[in-house]
Structure 1
Amino acid sequence: MKLTSVLAAGTAAVLAVGLAACGSGGDGGDGGDGGASGDVTMTMLPKNLGNPYFEASTAGAQEAADELGATVEEVGPDTASPDSQVPFINTAAQQGVSALIVSANDPTAIGDALDEAKSAGTKVVTFDSDTEPQFRDLFVNQASAEGIADKQLELISDQIGGEGEIAILSASANATNQNAWIKLMEEKLASDYPDITLVETAYGDDDDQTSFDKTAALLQSHPDLKGIVSPTTVGIAAAARYVSTSEYKGKVAVTGLGTPNQMREYVEDGTVEAFALWNPNDLGYLATEAAAALVAGDITGAEGDTFDAGRLGEYTVGADGVVVLGEPFVFDKSNIDDFDF
């Protein structure tokens, strides 16, 4: 996937909604399919609280809920450990919420709890990070795994001149989405980037200080390191913060997946040349619209189902109950000030 194709396909859509994460629409206008009503309740369960990426996705969920006349409440653990979401799932099921919208910390650890919630009549939509398919009704994917892997490798290759040692700074070792992207990056490095060597994959557990410390350890352990790829918004910001005040600034490239507001200062000071992401506000918005369509009975999650997603237009459910938001978008010094999330 080339940068030009991403820009051509995604610029208009992303620019149109880039400011949306600052607040919700809430005007009860043209959102959704009209199936939701005031008694539709949804629980938004991110991997952990206090993460700017999930704060933006929850803002999008709130925007959609306002338009649909539904209620959404965000709950979640402070840390993104495999089973830390289970108590929140159990509580939501006991409360009889209409839908759970979950970014899974582990593909199986929360499965039993989700099964019980589904048995109680709660619709389950995963977003951002999936469970095993049998534990949910739909997965709203931010982009295809192949597209995300391709874009990150394209970025790091461009920034290190197509050769040298790189490392990956991931979230938790159990994160479904991170592991899928890393596996694809490993495969594509072997086949398409013979002069780039992946020397280590480290895990910062989506914790700022841990990710900061792991960055320091990577740079100390690999003196010839030319780049760090961090496919997590917490990790890339922590890595950039470390590099920005170190001897490695301008020598070691940092890229991956981040939000404009987190990364703006590092792009402006030259620590980071470019990075990628989708709009997390849109992701939360789409997941909420999908959950509302499930609750209303407009879709079942079967392949080929279609539903109206408000300002995002119509979406079609793909194989294994997957709905794809779109392609990654690249942020750099030329466009980062056009976005606020």
Structure 2
Amino acid sequence: MTEISVIGGGSWATALVKILTENKVHVHWYLRRQVQVEAINDQGMNPDYLSFVKLDTQYLTASADLDHVLQQSPTILFVVPSAHFPALCSSIDPAIMQDKQVITSIKGTVGKDNVLPSAFVSNYFGIPASRQAVLAGPCHAEEIGMGKKTYMTICSANDAFLEQLKPCFRSRYLAINLHDDIAGIEYAAIYKNVVGLVCGMAKGLQYGDNFMAVLVANAIYELELLLKGLHVDDQRIACSSYLGDLLVTAYSPHSRNRSFGELIGRGYSVEQTQNAMSMVAEGYAATQGLYETAKNLGLNMPIINTAYRVLYNHMAVTSEFKLLERNMI
């Protein structure tokens, strides 16, 4: 694979563009803001995200023209917040996408029906699973930017597509795990953002490491319960493809979801927290989607319930955590 069109201009998109261009894959990159486009094309850097990363412009062309970028490559990589994905797709002529291969790296449920990003792509553009792949963690964009050792998961039902993608992302600091469980990996990637929020709330409330360990252990149990409730194929979830992202999001200071939750735990309102954050915390929207999913499945998931009541019912975080304490096992 020699070229990929990347849609999205945040830190994770920037990290993925860095990897691709280092592997001499030509990237056609769509960003909404012209100031980003000009800085990338002229200086090889994204002024808004991971600005310390120098990108190889020999293999990179940025543009604010979405249709133009989509037409440049047979493979499209969507790296946008889940809440923005439906509006983005509504601005795309379905005819452009007719023969495309699509990769998504979107960590939230999509639309009013709370579907997975891969399912949304199938429903909206008619692109079958055989022409789709999913990129997942465990990884933070900041550490990829610094070239720190990282493991990434690429999922697809199409083995040939996986083999095409593997050399595009593998590098001296990046190891690749290949997987075929798209739904399971996507749900794990979405759920981990809610866990990151709740762990951040615990930190903001000054809970210690002992409680945090119990919280994360219960989160692993909840994830297993969720996957079984969704009839996702029975998998060994105790591996990095499922749990790695959950653990790094729960504990790392790089996690924007953890930072979001910490501000909530310290007494900030949702609106104040959103205004204080320079980047989107996917866990906020993911909480609502997973809460509705768990409710429809009849699952009792105290961690998701806590996040939902604090963020959407505006319940006091201190009292909700006292209730959560009693539901830990």
- TM range, smaller chain: 0.3 to 0.5
Greater relative contact order, per chain length (Cα 8 Å cut-off, separation 6+): 1
Report the TM-score when normalising by structure 1: 0.34
- Of Structure 1 and Structure 2, the greater strand share is in 1
